[in-house]
Amino acid sequence: MSGLAINDITKNFGDFAAVDNVNLSVPHGTFVCLLGPSGCGKTTLLRMIAGLEEPTGGAIILDGENITSLPTHKRNLGMVFQSLALFPHLSVGDNIAYALRIRGRAKEEQRKRVEELLALIHLPGFADRPVAKLSGGQRQRVAIARALALSPKLFLLDEPLSALDAKLREDMQVELRQLQQRLGITTIVVTHDQREAMTMADLVVVMGKGKILQAAPPIEIYRKPADAFVADFIGITNLLPIEADSAGRATVLGTAVPGLALPAGMNKASLSIRPEDVSITAPRDGALTGTVSFVRDLGGTIETFVDVGGTTIIAVATPRERPNVSVGQSVGVVLPPESCVVLKQ
Least distance in angstroms from the C-beta of 36 to ligand ATP: 6
Residues 308-337 that bind ligand ATP (CB under 6 A): none
Q: Which is nearer to ligand ATP, 210 or 218 (CB)?
A: 210
Taking CB under 6 A as the criterion, the residue among 4, 18, 148, 149 binding ligand ATP is: 18
Q: Which is nearer to ligand ATP, 35 or 67 (CB)?
A: 35
Q: Which is nearer to ligand ATP, 69 or 162 (CB)?
A: 162
Least distance in angstroms from the C-beta of 171 to ligand ATP: 23
Phi, psi of 148 (to 5 degrees): -95, 0
What track of x and - describes contact with ligand ATP for positions 150 through 189 (by CB under 6 A)?
Answer: ----------------------------------------
Q: Which is nearer to ligand ATP, 35 or 142 (CB)?
A: 35
Q: Which is nearer to ligand ATP, 13 or 87 (CB)?
A: 13
Q: If you compute the radius of gyration of the chain from its CA atoms, what whole number of angstroms results?
A: 25
**192 lies in the site for ligand ATP, by CB under 6 A:** yes
Least distance in angstroms from the C-beta of 223 to ligand ATP: 25
Instruction: Specify the 3-state DSSP secondary structure of 173.
Output: helix
* CB-facing half-sphere around the CA of 271: CA atoms within 13 A: 27
Q: Residue 133 gets which letter from DSSP?
A: G
Cβ contact 161:169 at 8 Å: yes
Residues 19-78 that bind ligand ATP (CB under 6 A): 36, 38-44
Q: Which is nearer to ligand ATP, 39 or 259 (CB)?
A: 39
Distance (Å, whole) CA 57 – CA 35: 22
Distance (Å, whole) CA 115 – CA 183: 16
Strands (E), the chain: 3-13, 16-27, 31-35, 57-62, 65-66, 77-81, 154-158, 186-191, 203-208, 211-216, 238-244, 250-252, 255-256, 268-273, 279-281, 288-297, 302-308, 311-317, 330-334, 341-343
Q: Which amino acid is at 160?
A: P
Q: Which is nearer to ligand ATP, 44 or 140 (CB)?
A: 44
Query: Residue 126: which of 139, 109, 110 has the closest Cα?
Result: 139
Residue 174's beta-bridge partner residues?
A: none
Least distance in angstroms from the C-beta of 235 to ligand ATP: 19
With CB under 6 A, what is the number of residues at the site for ligand ATP? 11
Q: Which is nearer to ligand ATP, 37 or 309 (CB)?
A: 37
Least distance in angstroms from the C-beta of 60 to ligand ATP: 16
Least distance in angstroms from the C-beta of 205 to ligand ATP: 12
Cβ contact 290:313 at 8 Å: yes
Least distance in angstroms from the C-beta of 34 to ligand ATP: 8
Q: Which is nearer to ligand ATP, 232 or 243 (CB)?
A: 232
Cβ contact 56:12 at 8 Å: yes
Least distance in angstroms from the C-beta of 159 to ligand ATP: 7
Helix-helix angle 107-120:92-102, to 10 degrees: 130
Residue 28, C-beta contacts closer than 8 angstroms, at least 6 positions apart: 2, 3, 63, 184, 186
Least distance in angstroms from the C-beta of 41 to ligand ATP: 4
List of residues contacting ligand ATP (CB under 6 A): 13, 18, 36, 38-44, 192
